[in-house]
Chains A and B, each alone.
Chain A
Amino acid sequence: MADFVLELDRVTKRFGDVTAADDLSLQVAQGEFCALLGPSGSGKTTLLRIIAGLELPDSGRVLINGQDVTRLPPYARKVGMVFQNFLLFPHKTVAENVVFPLRMQGAPRERQKERLAWALKLLRLEGLEDRYPNQLSGGQQQRVALARGLIARPALLLLDEPLANLDRELRKEMEVEVRRYQVELTTPFIYVTHNQEEALTMSDRIAVMAKGRFEQVAPKLEVYTHPTSPFVAGFVGHSNKMSGRLTALDGSRARLDWQGVEIAVPSPARAGVGDRVDYFVKCEHMVLRSPNDPPEPELANRVPGVLRDVIFKGPNADYLARLDNGVELTVTDAVTMPSIRRDDPVHVAWAPEAGQCFAAAG
């Protein structure tokens, strides 16, 4: 049991008619960086508050290092937390903010000093000890919040969208830093975010949440490349979604009638000929070809269209192709790639197995 730092055992929480956490189970091991990824209202913050003890679950258990803490108040759990908007104490200096958890635990003065020096050094806050939070930049406030979360060597650190209020540049920088601290300290981090880039950059494992449920809990690469539910396929990464009815099933392959275009798809579970399915292919798993290019056997799907626009994105570009059936597909590829111009006829090609096919809901 104690192999995991955090264990959630069938945790459920309802607010009136809304189920914010629906029978959630999760295990997090020492050294792990686990992201809770989901749109707003998916219940990820509620789950984090349940772990912290700020919210009492209706049923289920929360275990920290094997100890059942479900009914323990937050101040007895010894977890660290980094809040959205930082929530630094505005009337306390940086040093007073950072050392607060140790003071509350009644640590000896010597140890407080020692740990404070350690935390300030780790987070590069030396020289700012006597400033007040309102005298700090966003990035500095963020680091103070992290220092306060880490100073007391918590069993685990909970982070609630800590980078949401930083500008893009700073966020990129902090993503790398946060990951570095986590690797250095081996403290497990539970990181709540609605930003898939953050989750993909920093975490080892991602739990994708929607409507109070885990849609998929898996290593991040697997979540990205092998989504197991239509929600995950649509939410993580940028995908083209193709909906239609199956016209044929032949072992691992099936054929899909997608608005008049016949394409090959991997056979979905729980769907037969005539059933409605959704087929997701990541934009970067599709390529553009000139109509004169020879066919490539591994790119079994090849549909004709016209290049409508190119959206330059730095190293990559999104190519918007309008197919003959009037639908648009987005293809992400290197900028230098084709010598094709706008309004040129193109072929969009991809391997059927590059995407995932699911029986349509309802």
Chain B
Amino acid sequence: MKAGELLARLIGGTLLLSLYLFLYAPIAYVIYVSFQKDLNWPFPPSWTLAHYAALGADQTYREGLWNSILLGLGSAVICTAVATMGSIAVLKYRSRWRALMVVIFLCPLFVADLLVGISNLLFNRQVLNLPGNMGSAMIGNAVHCTSFAFLIMLAQLSRYDWRLDDAAMVFGARPLRCFLEVTLPLIWPAMLGAFLVSFILAFNNLEISFYNLGAIPTLPTIAWGSLRFGLGGELFALAALVNGVVLGAFAVMYLLMRYRVVSFGHRE
């Protein structure tokens, strides 16, 4: 009995470990290499920060970083607003078409980024007569990221008690006041989650940004461009940094939720 339990735990543990390896080994390897002198065969390790220094010295990367942050912020604001409105509409007003509404919100998930990018470019130029610029890149990315933001909002808001809005209205709150006084203070953690995820997705996006931005560089477009001239050390450093920031953001979010600094809905 006891030996059987031990064996089951061993198998389970190994399986879990190999799953994590499958998911994270490549990323861990890139981070490891970014600190190594020899990029081609970094064993045994010989540590250096030279690639990071090179990255910091490169003006193009700095410009790209700034553009990526701008793009991420803009898209995230659009996504969060649209996803918040959409999820409230679906959950609060229990229409019999709600299942269809949800599916339509989620469909962009299944369209390739490349297609979203090209479609946006064509539509903007031929129908709206808009040039490719930061604004259209934000909108193009928002098309894609809204689906993710919507999913996050939907999962979190399903725990919200909409009768609280009834209570606020009966006690004299007009709809906007009701939203600001009652709904928003209770759903902002969900909105923050949606904002973070859409920021990261837009920040990291290559295809949509590439088609809509033209010559304006972002981190992913620069990285992709410089790939054609071989793997530079600063690319490893860049990948490591971006991953580090993203994982760091999630770690902070997790800790905040774990220790109830950010809680959602009813305080119980």
Q: Could you tell me if B167 and A81 are in contact, using CB atoms closer than 8 angstroms?
A: yes
Q: What 1/0 flags go to A65-106 for Cβ under 8 Å of B?
A: 000000001110111110101010111000000001100110
| A148 / chain B contacts, CB cutoff of 8 Å | 171
Taken together as a complex, chains A and B put the C-alpha atoms of A83 and B172 apart, in Å, by 15
Taken together as a complex, chains A and B put the C-alpha atoms of A73 and B267 apart, in Å, by 30
Q: Given A83-B163, A87-B164, A91-B186, are A78 and B267 also a contact pair (CB < 8 Å)? A: no
A224 touches B (CB below 8 Å): no
B155 touches A (CB below 8 Å): no
Most central of B167, B169, B182, B186 by chain A CB within 10 Å: B167
| A246 / chain B contacts, CB cutoff of 8 Å | none
A52 touches B (CB below 8 Å): yes
Q: What 1/0 flags go to B164-192 for Cβ under 8 Å of A?
A: 10111111111001000110011000000
Q: Given A89-B182, A104-B177, are A53 and B170 also a contact pair (CB < 8 Å)? A: yes
Q: CB < 8 Å: which of A75, A81, A133, A152 contacts B173?
A: A75
Q: In A50-68, which residues have CB < 8 Å from any B CB?
A: 52-54
A40 touches B (CB below 8 Å): no
Most central of B164, B169, B171, B182 by chain A CB within 10 Å: B171
Taken together as a complex, chains A and B put the C-alpha atoms of A54 and B167 apart, in Å, by 9
| Beta-carbon nearest neighbor of B182 in chain A | A89
Taken together as a complex, chains A and B put the C-alpha atoms of A91 and B181 apart, in Å, by 10
Q: What 1/0 flags go to A112-151 for Cβ under 8 Å of B?
A: 0000000000000000000011100000000000001000
Taken together as a complex, chains A and B put the C-alpha atoms of A349 and B168 apart, in Å, by 56
* Tally of A-B Cβ pairs under 8 angstroms: 67
Q: CB < 8 Å: which of A77, A78, A79, A134 contacts B268?
A: A134
Q: Could you tell me if A83 and B167 are in contact, using CB atoms closer than 8 angstroms?
A: yes
Q: Could you tell me if A91 and B185 are in contact, using CB atoms closer than 8 angstroms?
A: yes
Q: Please tell me the number of chain B residues within 8 Å of chain A, measured between CB atoms.
A: 21
| B168 / chain A contacts, CB cutoff of 8 Å | 89, 100, 104
Minimum Cβ distance to chain A for residue B178 (Å):
8
Q: Given A81-B167, A91-B185, are A132 and B173 also a contact pair (CB < 8 Å)? A: no
Taken together as a complex, chains A and B put the C-alpha atoms of A79 and B167 apart, in Å, by 11
Minimum Cβ distance to chain A for residue B177 (Å):
7
Q: Could you tell me if B169 and A101 are in contact, using CB atoms closer than 8 angstroms?
A: no
Q: What 1/0 flags go to B103-119 for Cβ under 8 Å of A?
A: 00000000000000000
B265 touches A (CB below 8 Å): yes
Q: Could you tell me if A100 and B171 are in contact, using CB atoms closer than 8 angstroms?
A: yes
Taken together as a complex, chains A and B put the C-alpha atoms of A91 and B268 apart, in Å, by 11
B161 touches A (CB below 8 Å): yes
Taken together as a complex, chains A and B put the C-alpha atoms of A91 and B168 apart, in Å, by 13
Q: Could you tell me if A54 and B169 are in contact, using CB atoms closer than 8 angstroms?
A: yes
Taken together as a complex, chains A and B put the C-alpha atoms of A132 and B260 apart, in Å, by 15
B interface, by DSSP: helix, strand, loop or mixed?
helix
Q: Could you tell me if B174 and A75 are in contact, using CB atoms closer than 8 angstroms?
A: yes
Q: Could you tell me if B170 and A54 are in contact, using CB atoms closer than 8 angstroms?
A: yes
| B170 / chain A contacts, CB cutoff of 8 Å | 52-54, 74-75, 77, 79-81
Q: What 1/0 flags go to B2-26 for Cβ under 8 Å of A?
A: 0000000000000000000000000
| Beta-carbon nearest neighbor of A96 in chain B | B181
| Beta-carbon nearest neighbor of B265 in chain A | A90
B228 touches A (CB below 8 Å): no
Q: Could you tell me if B267 and A134 are in contact, using CB atoms closer than 8 angstroms?
A: yes
| B171 / chain A contacts, CB cutoff of 8 Å | 75, 80-81, 100-101, 104, 148, 152
| A52 / chain B contacts, CB cutoff of 8 Å | 166, 170
B266 touches A (CB below 8 Å): yes
Q: Could you tell me if A91 and B267 are in contact, using CB atoms closer than 8 angstroms?
A: yes
Minimum Cβ distance to chain B for residue A104 (Å):
3
Taken together as a complex, chains A and B put the C-alpha atoms of A87 and B169 apart, in Å, by 12
Taken together as a complex, chains A and B put the C-alpha atoms of A101 and B163 apart, in Å, by 16
| Beta-carbon nearest neighbor of B163 in chain A | A87
Minimum Cβ distance to chain B for residue A108 (Å):
15
Minimum Cβ distance to chain A for residue B161 (Å):
7
A-B contact pairs, 12 of them (CB 8 A): A54-B166, A54-B169, A75-B171, A75-B173, A77-B170, A85-B163, A87-B163, A87-B164, A89-B182, A91-B185, A101-B171, A133-B267
> Which positions in B face A, CB cutoff 8 Å?
161, 163-164, 166-174, 177, 181-182, 185-186, 265-268
Contacts A87-B161, A90-B266 known; list 17 others, CB within 8 Å.
A53-B170, A54-B166, A54-B169, A54-B170, A75-B170, A75-B174, A77-B170, A78-B172, A81-B170, A89-B168, A91-B185, A100-B168, A101-B171, A104-B168, A104-B173, A104-B177, A132-B267
> Which positions in A face B, CB cutoff 8 Å?
52-54, 73-75, 77-81, 83, 85, 87, 89-91, 100-101, 104-105, 132-134, 148, 152
Across chains A and B, which 8 residue pairs bring their CB atoms closest together, nearest first?
A: A104-B172, A101-B171, A74-B169, A87-B167, A134-B267, A90-B266, A81-B170, A74-B170
